Amino acid sequence: MNQRRRHAILAGVAFFIVALDQATKIYIMQTMRLHESISIIPGVFNLTYIRNPGAAFGIFASSSGAFRMVFFLLTSLFALALLGTIFYRLHPKDWWGQLTVISILGGAIGNLLDRLRYGEVVDFLDFSVKGYHWPAFNVADSAISVGVISLLILFAFENKRPEYTSSP
């Protein structure tokens, strides 16, 4: 497969993640009241509409709005540059690595769009297991988490991965 087609497919994956993230958030905002919770699997999974002005787990939530906007804009730019560097350094035939970076990128863009539009991120996936409550999250957070875990696995087994001998 040529590089142009591969990049088009990867861009499509990123677009799909962003579109799914934004569509689910719009649906939640239009059909639920803020802080409303709907039990899907009692005691395990709820749809709970919240807005998170902070980072993961509410970090920086109590900081001023101006600080948060500057902080998240700068960290987003740094993250995009880092993801671009990682993507550029991957072998063109490394689908796993490329999908991993694209997943993180799509999630980062989804949450960045929320921050730019609302000044906070819309979260709604709410899980509890045996009394332990995980902070609510969204599709973008899921894509970022799966991507980061995959990237860590990729780096951990980097020396055991196949060598690409043919030209890109």
The model carries a pTM of 0.85
Question: Residue 58 has what pLDDT?
Answer: 64
In a domain, 83, yes or no: yes
In a domain, 82, yes or no: yes
pLDDT digits (tens, 9 = 90+) for 31-89: 999 999 999 999 999 999 999 887 666 666 667 777 877 888 888 889 889 999 999 88
Nearest-CA neighbor of 111 among 62, 49, 59, 53?
Answer: 53
How many secondary structure helices (H) and strands (E) does the chain include? 4, 4
Among 6-10, 14-18, 103-107, the range scoring the smallest mean pLDDT is 6-10
CA 58 to chain centre: 16
Q: How confident is residue 159, by pLDDT bands cut at 50, 70 and 90? A: low
Q: Which residues contact 87 (CB under 8 A, 6 or more apart)?
A: 98, 101, 102
In a domain, 167, yes or no: no
* Mean per-residue pLDDT of the chain: 88
Q: Which residues contact 39 (CB under 8 A, 6 or more apart)?
A: 45, 46
Q: Which H or E run includes 48?
A: strand 45-52
User: Phi/psi at 14 (nearest 5 deg)?
Assistant: -60, -45
DSSP reduced 3-state for 17: helix
Range of the domain at 129: 3-158
In a domain, 17, yes or no: yes
Q: Which of 21, 114, 126, 141 is catalytic?
A: 141
Question: Residue 60 has what pLDDT?
Answer: 67
Q: Which of 21, 114, 123, 126 is catalytic?
A: 123
The average pLDDT across 157-167 equals: 63
In a domain, 168, yes or no: no
Question: Residue 132 has what pLDDT?
Answer: 92
Known catalytic membership, residue 123: yes
Q: Which H or E run includes 45?
A: strand 45-52
Q: How confident is residue 160, by pLDDT bands cut at 50, 70 and 90? A: low
Higher pLDDT among residues 26 and 155, named by residue: 26
Structurally, how many domains does the chain consist of?
1
CA 82 to CA 79: how far, in whole Å? 5
Known catalytic membership, residue 141: yes
